Amino acid sequence: MDKIGRYQIIRKLGKGGMGSVFKGIVPMIDKVVAIKLLDPFEAMLDIIGTEKLREIFIYEAQTMAALRHPAIVQVWDYDEDDKGRPFIVMEYLCNNLGDMIGEDFEVEKDSRVIKPDKVIDYGKQILSGLSYLHHNGIVHRDIKPFNILVSDEDTIKICDFGMALVEGVAFSGPSMMQIGSPYYTPPEQSRDANAVDGRADLFATGVLLYRMLTGKLPGMQAFSLSLVNPLYDKSWDDFFAKALNWNPDDRFMSARHMQEALTALHLNWQAKQKSGTITPKIPEDLVALRMKPVQVYGPKARELFGVTSLFRPRSVMANSLHPQQNNTILDCTTSLIWQQQGSEYPISWQDAEIYVAQLNRLKFAGISTWRLPTINELLSLFAPLTTSATRGFDPDKNRLWSCDSHKNHERWLVNFDMGYVANQDMNCFNFTRAVSNN
């Protein structure tokens, strides 16, 4: 597919029950957008029918277009393609919480554990968006990791309103069809999806927060955090006992109340659990890391990078970083020289190459052999960037491009903030830190 309406299509991003999502370009101004096209699975088409699906899709577009809040994805356009299928044009965001925590179609599998301060920050943003929705009489009914997008500025954007309940008017498919996603849906929604209120979204948010903190679903184990990690006290247990209560009357009464309770929680950093942390390996000799870029994916990528199934490093190296007077940092363990500041702003991978070429033209720090680092080289910085913000690097520049390719339009990067290796579209925006072995 080359075009949808007037929009040039770059590639398909994914497909859900009702539609397919594409990455597209606005003509003339070359702005990247996300395009959701009504393109249902055959089974859904047979059960619900073309006209009803079209009605639901248009309803979603109208709902989203009326919303104005920083934590809700923006809709910019609506039209039909040459086959008469409606489509929605939205802002394009590279990250979502599903990918960031490593959740896949086997939802029961463990996901990545996220730092609690990050979970609190994301949780407050999600609840702020839900407070706005509920104030406007909208219940999302499908809060889950893949419906939470994350911007380049690390802000939350709630998306996918295809199953939303608006002032009692909502999608009403066959009685056997579930509204919402398994494990995230509250019990009352399974019984009568059209009778729920905002507390259904608060239950799903509680599941999401618990999952980010533990890597597990609360339904798979007891949710008393204080019994398994001294970082959390009983107030955390009370918070989740209320958020995940099966009786909506015993949950938080509003998103604002839940947000206030989340903000009031404290962490016992002095008793931080040490088990599960990665002990740096002290090399006996100078470590030589791979310098040449490769194209790799799947199990071969995990083996080459030395990462787990969740793409987290199996071990980290005890490096020896020494800031220099020329705005570089020397690692005496690898003899690599790192640019200390890196790019001022997040940039695309193509612009990262241009940025490095410019460093070489200017002979930054007297060096003309700057290049994009490999994933293995970036992972050699893992220990200092995740244990201290005072090692010389800017801790806010925590998503760094590598020179390694995943597939034709995707490149590998390291997310130091969450401690894992990922791949993204080349047009996504991340920071760049050049390296040299000069």
Confidence of residue 168 (pLDDT cuts 50, 70, 90): low
342 and 415 both lie in a single domain: yes
Q: Rounded to the nearest 5°, which phi and psi values hold at 371? A: -155, 165
Tell me which range, 180-194, 275-289, 294-308, is most confidently predicted by mean pLDDT. Answer: 294-308
87 and 99 both lie in a single domain: no
**For the segment 345-400, what is each residue's pLDDT rounded down to a tens digit?**
999 999 999 999 999 999 999 999 999 999 999 999 986 444 443 468 888 899 99
Q: What local confidence, expressed as pLDDT, does residue 385 receive?
A: 43
Which of 44, 75, 91 delimits the end of a domain? 91
* Residue 294 forms part of a structural domain: no
233 and 206 both lie in a single domain: yes
Q: What local confidence, expressed as pLDDT, does residue 260 receive?
A: 98
Q: What local confidence, expressed as pLDDT, does residue 175 receive?
A: 57
115 and 68 both lie in a single domain: no
Closest CA to 207 of 126, 135, 121: 126
Tell me which range, 4-18, 198-212, 276-290, is most confidently predicted by mean pLDDT. Answer: 198-212
Confidence of residue 173 (pLDDT cuts 50, 70, 90): low
* Residue 65 forms part of a structural domain: yes
22 and 118 both lie in a single domain: no
Which of 37, 70, 91 delimits the end of a domain? 91
Q: Tokens in use for 21?
A: 């999502």
CATH for 181: 1.10.510.10
Which of 253, 271, 289 delimits the end of a domain? 271
End-to-end CA distance of the chain: 46
Reported as half-sphere exposure (CB side, CA atoms, 13 A), residue 111 has a value of 29
84 and 110 both lie in a single domain: no
* Residue 385 forms part of a structural domain: yes
Average pLDDT value for residue range 179-204 = 92
348 and 264 both lie in a single domain: no
Closest CA to 19 of 8, 4, 2, 7: 4
Q: Tokens in use for 289?
A: 């890391």
**For the segment 107-146, what is each residue's pLDDT rounded down to a tens digit?**
999 999 999 999 999 999 999 999 999 999 999 999 999 9
* Residue 196 forms part of a structural domain: yes
pLDDT of 16 over the 90 cut: no
Q: Tokens in use for 152?
A: 């380049």
Counting the structural domains of the chain, the total is 3
221 and 233 both lie in a single domain: yes
* Residue 31 forms part of a structural domain: yes
3-state DSSP assignment of residue 363: coil
Higher pLDDT residue, 100 or 386?
100
114 and 85 both lie in a single domain: no
Place of tokens 């409606």: 86
CATH for 397: 3.10.100
Closest CA to 321 of 368, 275, 268, 387: 387
Confidence of residue 5 (pLDDT cuts 50, 70, 90): very high
Angle, alpha carbons 198-151-209 (nearest 5°): 45
* Residue 290 forms part of a structural domain: no
Q: What local confidence, expressed as pLDDT, does residue 52 receive?
A: 86
Q: What local confidence, expressed as pLDDT, does residue 124 receive?
A: 98
Confidence of residue 433 (pLDDT cuts 50, 70, 90): very high
pLDDT of 91 over the 80 cut: yes
195 and 267 both lie in a single domain: yes
Q: Rounded to the nearest 5°, which phi and psi values hold at 269? A: -65, -30
Centre a 10 Å sphere on the Cβ of residue 59 and count the other Cβ atoms it contains: 17
pTM for the structure as a whole: 0.89
**For the segment 249-286, what is each residue's pLDDT rounded down to a tens digit?**
999 999 999 999 999 999 887 665 444 455 566 665 66
48 and 151 both lie in a single domain: no
200 and 245 both lie in a single domain: yes
Average pLDDT value for residue range 202-211 = 97
Average pLDDT value for residue range 275-301 = 77
User: What domain range is 342 assigned to?
Assistant: 299-436
CA 367 to mean position of chain CA atoms: 36
* Residue 286 forms part of a structural domain: no
Q: Give the residue numbers marked as catalytic.
A: 142
Q: Rounded to the nearest 5°, which phi and psi values hold at 81? A: -85, -175
CA distances from 335 to 141, 338, 373 (A): 53, 10, 14
User: CB pairs under 8 A, 24+ apart, for 24-28?
Assistant: 24/89
Confidence of residue 224 (pLDDT cuts 50, 70, 90): confident
Least confident stretch, 170-174, 197-201, 324-328, 330-334: 170-174
